[in-house]
A and B are shown apart, each in its own frame.
Chain A
Amino acid sequence: MATDIRQATGWYVYAVCEPGDLKLTGLESVDGGHPLETISGDGVSVIVSEVRLAALQGLEEEAPTEDGRLAQMARRHDAVVEAAFSQGTLLPLRLGTVLRDRKAVAQLLSGAGPYFRDELQRLRGCREWQVKVLREHQSERSSEEGRNFGSGTAYLAARAAAQKERDETATKLNVALERLDAGAATAADASEPIRWLTQGTLYAAAFLVPGQQEAAFQDAVEQGGAGLRELGVGVELRGPFPPYHFVDAKLGGGPQ
């Protein structure tokens, strides 16, 4: 018998955490219509909510907007994960993880329990920070643009000078970025590049930082950032986040 998608539900999984009392009151599930709960087994817990599958249908066909369905779902997912993370170590799951039923949730825990425990131990006390270097302002238009050079030779000389200036700026930026990257890395346990870069981004990386090293990490970013600010680019330190960039497991088979 075919399942009626309008009635069907699944179990949405937000994160894996250590067993204990989590305060998740006031937060909405991804579909806005079900309570959040934790299910425990094999020494770990997962944060879940039932979800109407119809609420997830067609998401891939809508152009993402800041207030669209995908954005709403992503922000609800993020709010749950961050609220739980503020209370203890956790392993975030990727947006859109929906298991068949409670039995499937139990299967996940029994199958991956040892792995989850090891990962929670590895990440205990650490938070993710992100460093982004951004071109703050549109650079000045090149000096040759819109000018009357009088001769082809003068035009070519101006172009060569502009190119030389760009090359020198690129070299200085690279040196300063290397310094920032290396300085931040010394105070972190691990780093990962951020690959979905927004326009104007020169550098973006995530750092896994133990709690006792956060002050040193922020100092290192501030020092590295000073050299970049002098070159006219902006430096942002964002966080703390759950360790999204530092969990990299694919459990089970199939695409993703």
Chain B
Amino acid sequence: MSLQPHYGSQLRPRGESLADLLERVLDKGIVVAGDIVVGIADVELLTLKIRLLVCSVDTAERMGIDWWKHDPFLTRGSGDGHDGRLQERVQRIEALLEEGGGRRQEVPKRGH
């Protein structure tokens, strides 16, 4: 087997989906808040509002994101530390195998 790194013409990986891109640029990176941020027309809440949009079940489903068991931003009970990550992964593998075995993985109902 050979793993070819996804180098682009510069540094960008080829074929990156919007979901992958937003995971990096919207969920990560330094956050600046406070009174130096623009306070007109709710632009100071822009990042937060877009994150809420992307994390809504409808949007996430449309974009193919399975965040609901894994994003502590909006979920409770996510794993913490190595044991938590392992537990998450076990649950994920079992869910995917179960899905492959003929059942659809149910999307949990969430309030808005």
Contacts and interface: CB of A to CB of B under 8 A. Distances in A.
Contacts of B16: 238
A170 B86 CA distance: 12
Contacts of A251: 30-34
Nearest to B4: A237
Given A96-B50, A197-B67, A74 B25 contact: yes
A5 interface: yes
A256 B48 contact: yes
Given A94-B47, A252-B36, A195 B27 contact: yes
B11 A94 contact: no
Nearest to A146: B102
Nearest to B29: A94
A60 B36 contact: no
A8 B99 CA distance: 50
Given A202-B92, A238-B6, A196 B50 contact: no
B110 interface: no
Interface in B1-58: 1-6, 10-13, 16-41, 43-50, 52-54
A74 B12 CA distance: 13
A44 interface: no
Interface of A: 3, 5, 8, 10, 13, 16, 53, 56-57, 59-61, 63-66, 70-71, 74-75, 77-79, 81-83, 85-86, 91-100, 104-105, 107-108, 129, 135, 138-142, 145, 162, 166, 169-170, 173-174, 177-178, 193-203, 218, 221-222, 225-226, 229, 235-241, 244-245, 247-256
Interface of B: 1-6, 10-13, 16-41, 43-50, 52-54, 59, 62-67, 70-73, 85-86, 89-90, 92-94, 96-98, 100-102
17 contacts: A71-B21, A74-B25, A86-B10, A86-B11, A91-B30, A99-B37, A141-B101, A142-B102, A170-B90, A196-B70, A197-B92, A225-B1, A239-B5, A251-B33, A252-B32, A252-B36, A256-B31
Given A59-B50, A70-B22, A197-B67, 16 more contacts: A64-B54, A70-B18, A78-B21, A78-B24, A86-B10, A105-B36, A141-B101, A193-B85, A195-B73, A196-B67, A196-B70, A229-B1, A237-B4, A247-B30, A251-B34, A254-B34
